[in-house]
Chain A
Amino acid sequence: MAAKTLTIDGKQITAEEGETILQAATEAGIKIPTLCHLEGVYDIGACRLCLVEVTGTPKLLPACTLKVAEGMEVSTDTERLRKYRRMTLELLFAERNHVCAVCVANGHCELQTLAYSQGLDHVRYEYTFPKWSVDNTHRLFGMDHNRCILCTRCVRSCWHIEGAGTKNVSGRGGKSRIITDLNQPWGDSESCTECGKCVMSCPTGALFKKGSTVGESVRDRDKLEFIVNAREKKQWNA
Chain B
Amino acid sequence: MERLKIATVWLGGCAGCHMSFLDLDEFLVDIADKIQVVYSPIADVKEYPEGVDVCLIEGAVCNEDNLELIHKIRARTKVLVSFGDCAVTANVPAMRNQFGLGNAESVLQRAYIDNAQYNPVIPKADGIVPKLLERVLPVHETVKVELYLPGCPPPADRIKALLGQVLAGQTPKLEGTQLKFG
Q: Which residues of A contact B (CB under 8 A)?
A: 93, 97, 99-103, 106-107, 112, 115-117, 119-123, 126-127, 129-132, 146
Contact = CB atoms under 8 A, between A and B. Distances in A.
Contacts, number: 68
Interface of B: 82, 85, 88-92, 94-95, 97-100, 135, 138, 140-141, 145, 148, 150, 152, 174-182
A93 B85 CA distance: 13
A122 B178 CA distance: 13
B99 A112 contact: no
A121 B154 CA distance: 12
A116 B91 contact: no
B179 A99 contact: no
Find the residue from B138, B175, B179 having the highest chain A CB count within 10 A: B179
27 contacts: A93-B89, A97-B95, A97-B98, A99-B92, A100-B85, A100-B152, A106-B182, A112-B181, A112-B182, A116-B178, A116-B179, A116-B180, A121-B148, A121-B150, A121-B174, A121-B179, A122-B82, A122-B89, A122-B140, A122-B150, A123-B89, A123-B138, A127-B94, A131-B98, A131-B99, A132-B98, A146-B98
Contacts of B141: 126
Contact of B92 (A101, A112, A115): A101
Contacts of A103: 182
In the A-B complex, list the 5 residue pairs whose CB atoms are closest, starting with the nearest.
Answer: A100-B182, A101-B152, A129-B97, A121-B148, A100-B181
A165 to B, nearest CB: 31
B176 A116 contact: yes
A58 to B, nearest CB: 31
Given A127-B94, A131-B98, A115 B138 contact: no
B175 A119 contact: yes
